[in-house]
Structure 1
Amino acid sequence: MLSKVRYGVMRCGLLVGALGMSMMAQAQDFLPVLQYHHVSSTSPKSTSVTPEQFTEHMDYLQTAGFKVIDLKTALEDLKANKALPEKAVAITFDDAYRNIYKAGFPILKERHFPFTVFINTEPVERNSRSFLTWQQMKEMEEFGGVFANHTISHPYMLRKLEGETDVAWSTRMETEVDTVEALLNEHLGHSPKMLAYPYGESNQTIRSMMAEKGIMAFGQQSGVVSADSDFENLPRFPASGAYSKLSTLKTKLNSQPMPLLTVDAGGDFAGVDPVSIRLTFKEGKYRFKDLACYVSGQGKAALEWASDREVVATAPKAFGTGRGRINCTMPDRAGRSYYWFSNVWIRTKADQRYVSEKS
Structure 2
Amino acid sequence: MTKLKLCIGLGGAMLSSVHAFAEQHHLPILQYHHVGDSLPFTTSVTPEQFQEHLDYLSDSGFQVVDLASGLDKLKAGKGLPDKAVAITFDDAYKNIYINGYPRLKEKQFPFTVFINTDPIVRKNPNFLTWDHMREMKQYGGVFANHTISHPYMMRKQAEETFDVWFDRIKQEVMQVEDLLIQKLGGSPQMLAYPYGESNSYIRSFLKEKGIVGFGQQSGVVNIDSDFTNLPRFPASGAYAAVSTLKTKLSSLPMPLKDIEKEGDFAGDSAVSMVLTFKEGRYRLRDLTCYVSGQGKAQLNWLDKRRVEVTAAKPFSYGRGRINCTMPDYKTANFHWFSNVWVKPRAEEGYVEEKSEKNSEK
Q: Which bin holds the TM-score, normalised by the shorter protein? A: over 0.9
CA distance in 2 between counterparts of 1:11 and 1:48 reads: 49
1:164-190 deviation per Cα after TM superposition (whole angstroms, max 9, x unaligned): 000000000000001000100010010
Distance 1:318 1:22, change over 3 A: same
1:254 pairs with 2:241: no
Contact 2:7 2:18 in 1 (8 A): no
Unaligned residue ranges in structure 2 (runs of 5+):
357-361
TM-score normalised according to structure 1 size:
0.94
Give 1:3's aligned residue.
none
> 1:329: which partner in 2?
325
Q: Which residue of 2 aligns with 1:36?
A: 32
Structure 1 unpaired stretches of 5+:
1-9
Once the two structures are overlaid, the 10-residue window that deviates more, 154-163 or 349-358, is: 349-358
Corresponding residue to 1:131 among 123, 127, 133: 127
- Report the equivalent of 1:174: 170
Change (3 A) 1:229 1:21: farther
1:19 Cα deviation (Å)? 9.2
Q: 1:192 aligns with which of 172, 180, 188?
A: 188
227-236 or 329-338: bigger deviation: 329-338
Task: Tell me the equivalent position of 1:203.
Answer: 199
- Asked if 1:220 is matched to 2:223, the reply is no
Query: What is the aligned-residue RMSD (CA, Å)?
Result: 1.8
Determine which of 337, 343, 346 is the counterpart of 1:350. 346
Mapping of 1:90-105 within 5 angstroms? Answer: 90-105=86-101
Is the contact made by 1:268 and 1:357 (CA closer than 8 Å) also made in structure 2?
no
Cross-structure match for 1:4: none
Moved more, 22-31 or 343-352: 22-31
Looking at structure 2, the residues matched to 198 and 356 of structure 1 have their Cα atoms a distance apart, in angstroms, of 17
Structure 1 position 245, deviation (Å)? 1.1
1:272 to 257, 268, 274: 268
SS at match of 2:28: strand
Deviation at 1:46, TM superposition (A): 0.9
Which residue number in structure 1 is paired with residue 76 of structure 2?
80
Closer/same/farther in 2, CA of residues 26 and 209 from structure 1, 3 Å limit: same
SS in 2 for 1:269: coil
**Residue equivalent to 1:151:** 147
Q: Which residue of 2 aligns with 1:232?
A: 228
Match in the other structure for 1:111: 107
SS at match of 1:274: coil
Aligned to 2:359: none
Question: Which digits, 9 at most, give the CA deviation of each residue in 1:40-66, with x for residues without a partner?
Answer: 001111100000000000000000000
Equivalence for 1:70? 66
Deviation at residue 266 of structure 1 after TM alignment: 1.4
Q: CA deviation at 1:206?
A: 0.3
Tell me the CA shift for residue 28 of structure 1.
0.2
Q: Tell me the matched-pair count.
A: 349
The one-letter amino acid of 1:326's match is: I
Which amino acid in structure 2 is aligned with residue 34 of structure 1? L
Counterpart position of 1:7 = none
**In 2, Cα distance between the equivalents of 1:265 and 1:298?**
19
2:273 is matched by which residue type in structure 1? Answer: I
